Amino acid sequence: MNSHTGEYSGEADPRTMLVEGPFGVGKTSFAIETLFTWLSDGVPPENILVMVPQRTLAYPYWEALRGADYGPLGSVDVRTVNGLAKDMVNIYWPLVAGEAGFAEPERGPHFLTLETAQYAMADFVDRAVENGEFDAINVSPQQIARQIVDNLGKAALMGIDYRQIPDFLTGAWGPDRPRKRVLAYQAAGRVADAYRQYCLKYRLLDYSLQIECFTRLLRLPDFREAFFGARTHLIVDHVEEEDALTHTLIRDWLPHLDAALLVYEQDGGYRVFLGANPEGGQALARDCEGVLTLSESYFTSPGLEALLDEVAYSFNQPGSDPAPEGSDLAFDFAFHSYYPQMIDWVADRIDHLVHDQGIAPKEISVLAPFLSDALRFSLGQKLDQRGIPHVSHRPSRALRDEPAARCVLTLAALAHPEWGERPPQADVAQALQLAIAGLDPVRAALLAKVVYRPGGDEVLTAFDRITPQMQARITYVVGQRYDHLRDWLVTAAAERATALDHFFSRMFGELISQSGYGFHDDPEAGRVVAELVESARKFRQSLYSDQSIDPIEIGRRYFTIVRQGLLAALYVASWRDEHADAVFMAPAYTFLLRNRAVDVQFWLDVGSVGWWERLDQPLTHPYVLSPNWPAGRIWTDSDEVVRQEEMLYKIVSGLIRRCRSHIYLGLSDLGEQGYEQRGPLLRVFQQILRRHPQPVEGLEVSRE
Amino acid sequence: MTPSGPFAHLDGERRVIDSSQDSMVRPGQLPPLFQFSQNSLQDYADCRRRFQLRFIEGLRWPAARSEPIEEHEQFVNHGVDFHLLVQRHLLGIPIEKLAPVENPLAEWWDAYLHYPPPDLPTTLRLPEVQLSTPLAGYRLMAKFDLLAIDPGERAVIVDWKTSRKRPPRDQVLNRLQTHVYPYVLAEAGTHLFGRPIAPEQINLIYWFAAAPTDPEILPYSADRHAENRAYLEGLIGEILTIDDEIWPLVEDEFHCRYCEYRSLCDRGVRAGSLDEIDAAEEESDWDFEWDDVEEIAF
């Protein structure tokens, strides 16, 4: 074995191999090299499957496969296991639908998103809330629905009956804690059961039912033989991010394959909330004929290697030693009293890096435990002022928070008086301002004030019916545009039986994207409205295609849940965003799973407990609802501390490994919400600074 | 001991791919993961500006393509359902589990069973296969509804068409699909055929649900292959050399009636009627939707 490439142990001529190592040692590169070796050896491309835990991790494979320098090619499938499962269930639905208990199995399935699943569950949750069944917990009905949907998915991944979930949670809660929580678990169980029966009746397949149907298919001998036989070569990248069910699938599959390569990232396993089971991923090494361990980082500088040592030592990692005295740790730390000062500091530093040091914007990432709209907006504005391009990743931003979506929704409410919705005057003013070109906020407010008649026979008054003085103030050009908009909405209101997504499309194409209107040349508005259209269409088609409900009523229900903030924008950072030459702003988790290294990272809010704390989810539990947790064992406070320390170490070491040159740490005494910040990550760096004193902007640190 | 077999490359020098280094999106250029297809080339042939907006700028513009939208949506859904039904059949799901009850799916299914494409090779029946080949510095891909192959002897491409009318032959011949599909199979189908495929061994069949007894059967040839290569290479070469800020708009504004970007280009207000669209264009519209579905399914 060539020592340059790592340490190999196992059979001389392995058929299956696991390659392991931390980020940046060439594991995925080795996997891609393996893929092309197989193709060169004549393995039919259709026989090769590459599995990744999420879409962004497929990019290196797609890039390699789509390069023109490799010759003619068949289709190498690069998929997530969820995508594969959904496809299999869709294609082989006739084999599984009846046995799985779906009504009218001869008709097709409807696949639910997380949002539509929550909506399908909402009525059952609301009833339970009204009955006081969830009084013991202080979370919204939407959060309750989300956690129950999550529990169903976890049960499917654990391979247990979803009705056992309350028992698992009760066992971990223990007998000495307040009994009310157990009653809430039981209520959640009843809601889950009612929701499941509803799904079976209307053939609605949420994530849990997709996984259960896929598992059921795999038990059919013919399907199993065909499925395992269709692929002879398998690559699974990031097995540590996969769940226990996927690990079982891989373990069952390995004996059937001509070759398999599993890629395991040490210190990974960030997707615990999605069922990631890093221990199970590493255990797959025992099922492989060889293990290749890579350790030489191609990215991290000596200064960051020293920082890694320091971090490991601070977290008491086995075998860790602090960096030698005098080490040049590649980080800077700046302390500020107030949050906006920290944002100014970040913008100034980035300005210096880009304009004075020539670092490409795409080589800089700004990371925080959460990416709030305020942070995104304020930092984005400051970078704009400095002429620095930036993109942000916003995985959970609600649709209603997008101005273009709010505009379209408000206009829809005006065109559907039968919904009984009366948008506030301020919303109407903002919608008019966005929709009509040349209308400034002051005139928009005036116009809304004089023409908007909520509850009147005519919701919007014609421009020629307002006073000439007011017409002159608003201008006649704007008045004409307003009248055209009003006429369009009145006509649309008369055409009753229109699905809301169709209404959105027509309004966008025929009205607000036309010349003289606000979205005429606005790509961002186009993107947001496209997401709205797609979201409304999925809502209608997946939940109501089998039910004879008036499209107007379906539209009203959709409007209601968007207004409640239940529906998130479907926004996924596209390859354009991912590959743009722009500063990338994201939550730390998102950046880690993007799996790319950058030259410079900024960590904001280093004092925030958000780097450490789990979300408060009283009805579910990522560690207890896992095959690794012994049923009946109580989850204690010390379990919580141990797990959160483990996760914080993973996050911090993972971020450092994804940096080539330097890390800037920003801290403000008072956080974004005005609270004092003294979280565990700050304490780690205080320890490091005591061992390796360095000038800290705005703070004095004494040597230990 | 040096490993061999599927990991014989283990002893080689490691290369590390840092994908952030060489895959940057540059304004005005095709994105890193882009590959040409019959859809994108057809868009270019129809309107260069449409190609620019859709593929260079990646602009999402949610206006209706044709009216009534409700019928357009049904048309797309029925097309997707039919392709899925046939795929299920070709993958061996028993026929008694597949009988659709609603029209037009039931009628199409009946037509498929009674009047399938004629004289198909029997050894290999591969539904939903994708192949690609390099051309002019990019990849050109084709996703086939069905490849029927007797290895070493002949290969037939079948494309299921669910447009409401059968298009005339000259329209079919002019579609980019007719050029791209046999070209890609001839270039990239060797591993399926067992040896290089001579163009003369390829047929392309368009099977029309609206006219199942009248499929369009298009034999392929070496001359046609050479013409196709020159034509497709020329098209891609042309695309790569355009550096206008706004690419030229199509002169015949009929296309704009069925294009979602019409408002952006100031080329009309309402979408064109589904009744007036020609069958080939109708199908092309549907094919684009299908690609969208594939992408979303990931």
- CATH class assigned to A3-79+232-293: alpha beta
What pLDDT shows up at residue A569?
Answer: 53
Residue B54: how many CA atoms within 13 Å on its side-chain side?
Answer: 20
Closest CA–CA distance from residue A495 to any residue of chain B (Å): 13
CA distance A235 to A245: 17
What is the mean pLDDT of each successive set of 10 residues along chain A, which is 704 residues long?
69 94 91 93 93 89 82 86 94 96 93 89 93 91 93 93 96 92 96 97 96 96 92 97 94 96 93 88 96 85 92 92 88 86 93 95 93 86 94 71 92 92 94 96 95 87 93 94 96 83 96 97 92 90 83 90 69 58 90 89 89 87 91 93 92 94 87 70 90 71 39
Cβ contact, residue pair B297, A83, below 8 Å: yes
Q: Which of B23, B59, B133 sits opposite A526 (nearest CB)?
A: B59
SS (H, E, C) A303-321: HHHHHHHHHHHHCCCCCCC
**Pairing of the two strands A583-587 and A390-392:** parallel
Q: Which of B15, B25, B133 sits opposite A72 (nearest CB)?
A: B133
What pLDDT shows up at residue A608?
Answer: 85
**Is the preceding omega at residue B121 within 30 degrees of 0, hence cis?**
no
Q: Which of A13, A44, A534 sits opposite B191 (nearest CB)?
A: A44
pLDDT tens, residue by residue, B245-254: 999 999 999 9
What pLDDT shows up at residue A196?
Answer: 98
Picking from A88, A578, A595 by the largest number of B CB atoms within 10 A of its own CB, the best residue to mutate is A578
Please state, in angstroms and as integers, the Cα–Cα distance from residue B201 to each residue in B44, B152, B153, B205, B226, following that order. Answer: 30, 9, 7, 13, 15
Token digits of residue A544:
């109501």
What pLDDT shows up at residue A671?
Answer: 65
Helix (H, G, I), strand (E, B) or coil at B66: strand
Cβ contact, residue pair A60, B17, below 8 Å: yes
What pLDDT shows up at residue A567?
Answer: 64
- Nearest CA to A533 out of A487, A569, A575 is that of A569
CB-based burial label for A493 (10 Å; 0-12, 13-18, 19+): middle
Domain range summary for chain A, segments of one domain joined by +: 3-79+232-293, 103-213, 331-395+577-691, 399-563
For residue A261, the surrounding DSSP H or E stretch is strand A259-265
Q: What is the DSSP string of B180-247?
A: HHHHHHHHH-HHHHSSPPPGGGEEEEEEETTEEEEEEEEE--HHHHHHHHHHHHHHHHHHHH---SSP
Cβ contact, residue pair A520, B264, below 8 Å: yes
- DSSP structure class, residue A500: H
For residue A425, the surrounding DSSP H or E stretch is helix A425-435
What pLDDT shows up at residue A577?
Answer: 64
CA distance A251 to A253: 5
CA distance B298 to B287: 18
Residues 6+ away with beta carbon under 8 Å from A62: A78, B33
Token digits of residue A468:
């000439």
**Is the preceding omega at residue B68 within 30 degrees of 0, hence cis?**
yes
Cβ contact, residue pair B70, A576, below 8 Å: no
What pLDDT shows up at residue A572?
Answer: 47
**ipTM of the predicted structure?**
0.91
Decide which of 3.40.50.1170, 3.40.50.300, 3.40.50.150, 3.30.70.240 is the CATH code for A331-395+577-691.
3.40.50.300
Cβ contact, residue pair B3, A14, below 8 Å: yes
Contact A451, A461 (CB under 8 A): yes
Q: Can A3-79+232-293 and A331-395+577-691 be said to share one CATH topology?
A: yes
What pLDDT shows up at residue B290?
Answer: 40
CA distance A461 to A459: 7
Contact A157, A248 (CB under 8 A): no
**Pairing of the two strands B66-67 and B124-135:** unpaired
Q: Is B245 on the interface with A (CB under 8 A)?
A: no
Picking from B1, B4, B7 by the largest number of A CB atoms within 10 A of its own CB, the best residue to mutate is B7
For residue A192, the surrounding DSSP H or E stretch is helix A179-202
Contact A173, A185 (CB under 8 A): yes
One-letter amino acid at B136 equals A
pLDDT tens, residue by residue, B7-48: 888 776 656 555 554 556 666 788 878 899 999 999 999 999
Measured between beta carbons, which residues in chain B are less than 8 angstroms from residue A555? none
pLDDT tens, residue by residue, B212-239: 999 999 999 999 999 999 999 999 999 9
Contact A563, A398 (CB under 8 A): no
Measured between beta carbons, which residues in chain A are less than 8 angstroms from residue B264? 513, 520-521
Q: Which of A55, A74, A90 sits opposite B191 (nearest CB)?
A: A74
Contact A229, A204 (CB under 8 A): no
Token digits of residue A8:
């190999």
Measured between beta carbons, which residues in chain B are less than 8 angstroms from residue A514? 263, 269
> What value, to the nearest 5°, has the Cα angle with vertex A601 and ends A598 and A604?
150
CA distance B79 to B105: 9
pLDDT tens track, chain B, 298 positions: 455 688 888 776 656 555 554 556 666 788 878 899 999 999 999 999 999 999 999 899 999 999 999 888 888 889 999 999 999 999 999 999 998 888 899 999 999 999 999 999 999 999 999 999 999 999 999 999 999 999 999 999 999 999 888 989 998 999 999 999 999 999 999 999 999 999 999 999 999 999 999 999 999 999 999 999 999 999 999 999 998 999 999 999 999 999 999 999 999 999 998 887 765 555 555 444 444 333 332 2
Helices A403-415 and A500-507, packing angle to 10 deg: 110
- The full set of domains in chain B, from first to last, is 38-297 (3.90.320)
Q: Which of B10, B134, B260 sits opposite A71 (nearest CB)?
A: B134
CA distance A162 to A337: 49
- Nearest CA to A617 out of A61, A2, A147 is that of A147
Cα dihedral sign, A45-A47-A48-A49: positive
Alpha helices in A203-338 (DSSP H): 207-218, 221-230, 244-253, 278-283, 302-314
Contact B202, B220 (CB under 8 A): yes
Size of interface A-B (CB pairs under 8 A): 233
